[in-house]
Amino acid sequence: MDPMDPMDTPTQTADAPPRTLRPSPAEQKRAARGATRPGDRIFLGLSRGSGILLLVIMAAIAVFLTYRAALALSKDDANFLTAFEWNTGLVPPKFGIAVLAFGTVVSSIIAMVIAVPIAVAIALFLTHYAPRRLSGPIAYVIDLLAAVPSIVYGLWGALILVPHMNGLFGWLDDYLGWTGVFSWDQGPPRSMLTVGVLLAIMILPIITNVSREVFRQVPRTHEEAALALGATRWEVVRMAVLPFGRSGVISASMLGLGRALGETMAVATVLSPDFDLHASLLNSGGGTFAQNIASKFSEATEFGRDALIASGLVLFVITLLVNGAARAIIARRKEYSGAHA
Amino acid sequence: MAKRIDVSGLTAYYGSHKAIEDISMTIEPRTVTAFIGPSGCGKSTFLRTLNRMHEVTPGGRVEGKVLLDDEDLYGAGVDPVSVRREIGMVFQRPNPFPTMSIFDNVAAGLRLNGMHKKSELQDVVEKSLRGANLWNEVKDRLNKPGAGLSGGQQQRLCIARAIAVEPKVLLMDEPCSALDPISTLAIEDLIGELKERFTIVIVTHNMQQAARVSDRTAFFNLAGVGQPGRLVEIDDTERIFSNPSVQATEDYISGRFG
C-alpha cells in the first residue's frame, strides 16, 4: 500500500484541533492497541500472558539444564566434547558426548536425505497429480502414520526392519564398500543407517502434511500464469508451486528434523549402542543423545543423571541452532517469498 | 505472424453446467476485438476456451471448433501446452511470479521454449519490456522481485512476459479492472501499439474502454437466469456503439440494464 496515501493514515491526529472529549494519553495508548472494551482487554491479557508464559518456560528449561549440567561438568575428568566414553561411575568420572553428537547428527541427516524428497514428492502428487478421490484416502493414511506411537515404530523396526536390512547392507557393501562409509562387518544391522531409515519413515508424515498444506495454498493465479505461458504440469510445479512452497517445505523439514534429533524409544529399540566412533554407517554401534539418556537414566546415580542432563543441554543447543539456521534461510529470501503478493 | 481465429459452434461446460452455448465468430488478425456483456454472461469463459485454459478448471470441457488459421485447437492430438505457447494470456489481476525477479519473469516463457543463453535472453527481455512500455521504469532494477512493482507496472510486466514468446494471439481478461485510471490509460495505449504485431482479444466491463481500444466488439448476454451465455452480436466497434443491429445491445450500451 502506498504510504503517502492520506487515506491510509486515518489515525494521524497531530494537527487536528483540540476537542473537549479528547482521550487522555493513557487511553489513547490503550486505544492504539485496540484494548478499550472489556473483551479486548481480557483477550489482550490472555494472549500476552501466554506469550510471556512461553518465554518463562523456555528460560526455566534452560536454567534447569544449565544448573544440573554445571554440577556434572565441574567433575568431569575427560573432555566433555571430545571423549569417546561414558563412565560416570568412575572416580574421577569420565564422560564425553562426541559419539552421541555424531550419532544424533548422522542419523538425522540420513533421515532427512531419505524423507524430504519423498515427502515433497508425495505432497506434490496429492495436490497436483492425484485424482481427488485418490488424494483424500492417501492423505488420511499419511495422517494415521503420524499418529503411530514411536515405541511401535521401534518394535516394528527391531522385529521387521532390522532383519530385512541385511540384503540392502550386503548390496551396499559389495558396490560402495570401498568408500568406507558403506563397508560392513556382517554384524547385525542395528546401525546408524537402519536408525536413519526408521527415522525417515517416522518423520515422513509430518513433512508430507505440512508440505501438502503449503502446496495447496499456492495461488491459482500463479499456476495459471505458468500454464498460460505454455508450461507443462511439471513446469508449472517448477515455476510456480515449488518456489512458492520453498519456505514452507523448509519449515516442514525442520519440524521433521526436530523429531528426528529428539527421537528416543525407536532409536533405543533398534540400535546396539556403544561408545566408539564408527566411520561406517552399516556397522552396528554408536548412539544418540536421546537414546543414551533413555537407556541410562533409570539406572543412573544422582551424578549420572546430571551428566545425562548435560548431554541433554547439548541436544537442546543443537536444536536451537538448527531452528535458527532454518529461520535464517527463510528470511534471506523473504522479499521473494510471495507472502506480500 | 498474427493469426485469424475462427470459432464455430462452441459450447463450454463446468461439469454439467453449460456456461456458454453455440458461439461462432471470426477474430481478424492485427485487430483488437473486445468482449462486453453483463457479469456471468460467459465472456471470460469464452476467452479461456480460445487458449484451452478453460479445461484446466476442474470439470471444464468444450465442444465445437476453434481454428487458428487452419489448425483446430481442439483437434485430436493437439497438445494444449503448445496451443498456449502460441496464444498468450494476460489475467484480470496482475500475476507476476512472486519468487522471480523482473528479468526472470519476462524470461520465464523463453526458458520454457528452451532459450537459455544469457545474451539472447537479455535481448528479448529488453525488447519485450520496451514493447510493454516498462523498460525505462525498471531497467535499473531488473534483478529486483517483480512483486515489488506497482499494480499497473506488474500488469505491464505480465504483458511483457506474454509477448516475449511472440504469441500469435494475445488474450486479455479484464486487464485493467484492478488498476487505477492512469495505469489503465498506459495499458490502453499499449494495446494500441501491440495490435500492429498481434491479434488481440480483450474482455472488459468498461464500455468506454471497449469503445476506445477495440476495432470490433462482441456483445454477450444470458438468454435468462440459469441459461447459458450466448453471443448476441459482433460488429465493428463504431457500429455497435452507434447503431447496433440488436435491441438488447443498445439497451446494454445505453445503460438500460447490466
pLDDT per position as a tens digit, B28-37: 999 999 999 9
Residue from the list A221, A239, A341 with its beta carbon closest to the beta carbon of B108: A239
What distance lies between CA A40 and its chain's CA centroid?
35
Which pLDDT score is estimated for A35? 59
Which pLDDT score is estimated for A277? 87
Q: Do B99 and A244 touch (CB under 8 A)?
A: yes
- Quote the CA–CA distance of A146 and A144 in Å, as a whole number: 5
Q: How confident is the model at residue B11 (pLDDT cuts 50, 70, 90)?
A: very high
Burial code of B205-217, b = ≥16 C-beta within 10 A, e = fewer? bbbebbbbbbebb
In this prediction, residues B51-78 reach a mean pLDDT of: 91
Residue from the list B56, B84, B93 with its beta carbon closest to the beta carbon of A229: B84
Interface check for A227 against chain B (CB to CB < 8 A): the answer is: yes
Which pLDDT score is estimated for A12? 44
- Quote the CA–CA distance of B70 and A3 in Å, as a whole number: 52
Which chain B residue has its CA at the smallest distance from A1's CA? B150
CA distances A159 to A197, A202, A204, Å, are: 14, 16, 20
Which pLDDT score is estimated for A18? 52
| Partner residues linked to B88 by β-bridges | B170
In degrees and rounded to multiples of 5, residue A157 shows phi and psi of: -60, -45
Strand order in the sheet with B60-68: B71-72, B60-68, B5-14, B17-27, B229-236, B216-222, B32-36, B199-203, B169-173, B87-90
In this prediction, residues B52-65 reach a mean pLDDT of: 91
Q: What ipTM does this complex have?
A: 0.89
Residue from the list B83, B95, B148 with its beta carbon closest to the beta carbon of A225: B95
Which pLDDT score is estimated for A32? 66
Residues of chain A with C-beta less than 8 angstroms from the C-beta of B98: 222, 243-244, 336-338, 340-341
| Partner residues linked to B172 by β-bridges | B90, B202
Q: Do B109 and A230 touch (CB under 8 A)?
A: yes
- Quote the CA–CA distance of A298 and A163 in Å, as a whole number: 29
Q: Do B85 and A335 touch (CB under 8 A)?
A: no
In the predicted model, residues of chain A with pLDDT beneath 70 are: 1-23, 27, 29-35, 333-341
Which pLDDT score is estimated for B172? 95
Interface check for B242 against chain A (CB to CB < 8 A): the answer is: no
CB B29 within 8 Å of CB B2: yes
Indicate the range of A209-213, A336-340, B100-104, B229-233 predicted with least confidence: A336-340
Quick one: which of B96, B111, B108 has its CA closest to B146? B96
Choice between B58 and A8, residue whose per-residue pLDDT is larger: B58
In degrees and rounded to multiples of 5, residue B219 shows phi and psi of: -105, 125
Q: Do B98 and A230 touch (CB under 8 A)?
A: no
In this prediction, residues B182-188 reach a mean pLDDT of: 90
Interface check for B93 against chain A (CB to CB < 8 A): the answer is: yes
Q: How many A-B residue pairs are in contact by the CB < 8 A criterion?
A: 83
- Quote the CA–CA distance of B38 and B220 in Å, as a whole number: 7
Which pLDDT score is estimated for A114? 97
Residues of chain A with C-beta less than 8 angstroms from the C-beta of B83: 230
Chain A interface mutation, best of B47, B54, B81, B97, highest count of A Cβ atoms under 10 Å: B97
Chain B interface mutation, best of A128, A216, A229, highest count of B Cβ atoms under 10 Å: A229
Which chain B residue has its CA at the smallest distance from A219's CA? B95
pTM of the model: 0.81
Which pLDDT score is estimated for A340? 42
Which pLDDT score is estimated for A38? 87
For residue B107 the three cell numbers come to 524470461
- Quote the CA–CA distance of A68 and A122 in Å, as a whole number: 44
Interface check for A239 against chain B (CB to CB < 8 A): the answer is: yes
Cα dihedral A144, A145, A150, A156 sign: positive
Which pLDDT score is estimated for A4? 44
In this prediction, residues B181-194 reach a mean pLDDT of: 90
CB B229 within 8 Å of CB B41: yes
| Residue A170 identity (one-letter amino acid) | G
Interface check for B15 against chain A (CB to CB < 8 A): the answer is: no
Which chain A residue has its CA at the smallest distance from B89's CA? A228
Quick one: which of B88, B124, B52, B92 has its CA closest to B199? B88
Which pLDDT score is estimated for A180? 86
Q: Do A229 and B161 touch (CB under 8 A)?
A: yes
Which pLDDT score is estimated for B20? 93
CB A330 within 8 Å of CB A247: yes
pLDDT digits (tens, 9 = 90+) for A301-316: 999 999 999 999 999 9
Q: How far is B184 from chain A (nearest CA, A)?
A: 18
pLDDT digits (tens, 9 = 90+) for B112-157: 988 889 999 999 999 999 999 999 999 999 999 988 899 999 999 9
Q: How far is A10 from chain B (nearest CA, A)?
A: 21
Residue from the list B93, B108, B147 with its beta carbon closest to the beta carbon of A229: B108
Q: Do B112 and A229 touch (CB under 8 A)?
A: yes
Asked whether the predicted pLDDT for residue B104 surpasses 90, the reply is: yes
Which pLDDT score is estimated for A5? 44
What is the SS3 assignment for chain B? Answer: CCCCEEEEEEEEEECCEEEEEEEEEEECCCCEEEEECCCCCCHHHHHHHCCCCHHHCCCEEEEEEEEECCEECCCCCCCHHHHHHHEEEECCCCCCCCCCEHHHHHHHHHHHCCCCCHHHHHHHHHHHHHHCCCHHHHHHHCCCEHHHCCHHHHHHHHHHHHHHCCCCEEEEECCCCCCCHHHHHHHHHHHHHHCCCCEEEEECCCHHHHHHHCCEEEEEEECCCCCCEEEEEEEEHHHHHHCCCCHHHHHHHCCCCC
| Residue B113 identity (one-letter amino acid) | N
Q: How far is A137 from chain B (nearest CA, A)?
A: 19
Cα dihedral B101, B104, B109, B111 sign: negative
In this prediction, residues B158-185 reach a mean pLDDT of: 91
